[in-house]
Amino acid sequence: MSYKIPMGPYHPALEEPYKLDLICEGETVRDAKLHIGFNFRGIEHLAETRNYIQVIALMERVCGICSNIHTLTLCQSMEQLTGLTPPPRALYIRVVVAELERLHSHVLWAGIAAKLMGFKTMFMTCFELREKVMDVLQAISGNRVNYSMNRIGGVNRDIDDPLAVLAMVQALEREMVRTVIPIFTTSSTARSRCAGIGILTREKALSCGVVGPTARASGLPQDLRRDAPYAAYSEMEFNVPVQPDGDVRARLLVRALEIMESCKILRQALTKMPPGEINTGDAKIVFAAGTATSRVEAPRGEVMYSVSWKQDAKNPSRVHVRTPTFANMPSVRWMVLGARLADTPLIQASIDPCYSCTDR
DSSP class of residue 60 equals G
- Rounded to the nearest 10°, the torsion over CA 303, 309, 313, 314 is 10
The reply on whether position 1 binds another protein by CB under 8 A is no
243 binds another protein (CB under 8 A): no
**Dihedral Cα 169, 172, 173, 179, nearest 10 deg:** -170
The full DSSP string for 310-345 is: -TT-SS-SEEEEE-HHHHHTHHHHHHHTT-BGGGHH
CA dist., res. 185 & res. 200, Å (int): 20
| Contact pick of 86, 246, 301, 345 for another protein (by CB under 8 A) | 345
- d(C-alpha 130, C-alpha 136), whole Å: 10
Segment 159 to 198, residues that bind another protein, using CB under 8 A: 189-190, 192-193
Long-range contacts of 221-230 (CB under 8 A, 24+ apart): 223/297, 224/295, 224/296, 224/297, 224/302, 225/297, 228/295, 230/76, 230/294, 230/295, 230/296
User: Exactly one of 124, 171, 195, 288 binds another protein (CB under 8 A); which one?
Assistant: 124
Minimum CB distance to another protein, residue 103 (Å): 20
Cβ distance to another protein smaller for residue 226 or 340:
340
Provide the minimum distance between the beta carbon of 64 and another protein in the complex, in angstroms, as a whole number: 21
Closest CA relative to residue 122, chosen from 171, 181, 66: 181
**Contact between 13 and another protein per CB under 8 A:** yes
Instruction: Provide, rounded to whole angstroms, the least separation between the CB of residue 170 and another protein.
Output: 23
Pairing of the two strands 19-25 and 28-35: antiparallel
Q: How big is the site for another protein, counted in residues (CB under 8 A)?
A: 29
Residues in Cβ contact with 131 at an 8 Å cutoff, skipping those fewer than 6 apart: none
| Other Cβ atoms within 10 Å of 247 Cβ, number | 21
Least CB distance to another protein at residue 187 (A): 9
Applying CB under 8 A, among 115, 216, 249, 295 the residue interacting with another protein is 115
Which range, of 116-124, 134-142, 241-249, 287-295, touches another protein by CB under 8 A?
116-124
Of the residues 41, 120, 272, 310, which one makes contact with another protein according to CB under 8 A? 120
Interface with another protein, residue 23, by CB under 8 A: no
Q: Which amino acid is at 4?
A: K
Q: Is 342 in the site for another protein (CB under 8 A)?
A: yes
**Which of 75, 100, 107, 114 is close enough to bind another protein by CB under 8 A?**
114
Q: Which stretch binds another protein (CB under 8 A): 47-55, 150-158, 326-334, 336-344?
A: 336-344
- CB half-sphere exposure, 301, CA atoms < 13 A: 28
Residue 216: CB minimum distance to another protein, A: 25
Quick check: 126 and 117 in contact, CB under 8 A?
Answer: no
What one-letter code names the amino acid at 87?
P
Contact stretch for another protein (CB under 8 A) within 167-175, 199-207, 304-312, 341-349 = 341-349
Measured from the CB of residue 199, what is the shortest distance to another protein in angstroms?
16
5 contributes a contact to another protein by CB under 8 A: yes
- For another protein, the binding residues (CB under 8 A) are 3-5, 11-13, 27, 114-122, 124-125, 128, 189-190, 192-193, 340-345
